[in-house]
Amino acid sequence: MVATATLSILPKTSYKRHVSKYVSLMCYRILARAFSAVVTYHNKENRAKGGGICVANHTSPIDVIILACDACYAMVGQVHAGFTGMIQRAMSRSEAHIWFQRSEVKDRQAVSNRLKEHVSDPDKLPILIFPEGTCINNTSVMMFKKGSFEVGGTIYPVAIKYDARFGDAFWNSSKYNMIQYLLLMMTSWAIVCDVWYLPPMHRKEGEAAVEFANRVKHEIAQKGGLVDLLWDGQLKRMTVKEDFKKEQQKEYSKLLKVE
């Protein structure tokens, strides 16, 4: 926080961007040491470049730390209160991050416009997005929201796989608050994980955003050894829609159908 407060004093120049990069890497690597993180990065030549969008499967808030130890990103996410909100405000002092309220449709439209503006500038940091929109237990990859795939630009997929034998990185937010979760992470044996940078992907001509999202999701799941699921990860917090239930019932009835 002291480092980002100091950076906020500097004028917006190439020098500030240069200093911000090294300060960011230093801060995130210090945080990673607090979790005893042991990270192996594969295929670094595929790391996200300026003006692109980096998308990854989401297991934990420390996914950000794991990825930011190796490269700098502009973050996009939901506005939080408390300790997490304090961290978000500190981050925004050094780089232009995009925070939004999920419940505000107009704000989400504004976010989409800001994303398009951001990716149109190759001098800006690549945006880091977790399209699942919620933490999943690192055994599968669930439905990717199509929003980040409608923006345009180059998509840089990343697969993150944790080794639960040393410490389970999954954040069950209904069971632990942020402080409790961080204490669990810092008192685990270690946070061991592999990160694979996949080749950049582009939306094909005539390809729908949903189809593109599913194609990227499949590549991430395959590389990380995760199960590729079509279910919405938000179902753990919401009541399942009747239409969705009926659709699944129809599929199941086909399996039971006797010729």
**Residue-wise pLDDT tens digits, 100-148:** 766 654 566 777 777 888 888 777 889 999 998 888 888 899 989 888 8
Angle (CA) 230 213 79, round 5°: 90
CA 40 distance to own-chain centroid? 18
- Is residue 155 scored above 90 in pLDDT? yes
Rounded to two decimals, the pTM is 0.80
Q: 157 forms bridges with which residues in the sheet? A: 55
Report the range of poorest mean pLDDT among 151-155, 216-220, 222-226, 255-259: 255-259
Q: Which of 18-22, 220-224, 248-252 has the highest mean pLDDT?
A: 220-224
Confidence class for position 232, pLDDT limits 50, 70, 90: confident
User: How confident is the model over 193-207, as a mean pLDDT?
Assistant: 93
- Three-state DSSP at 155 gives strand
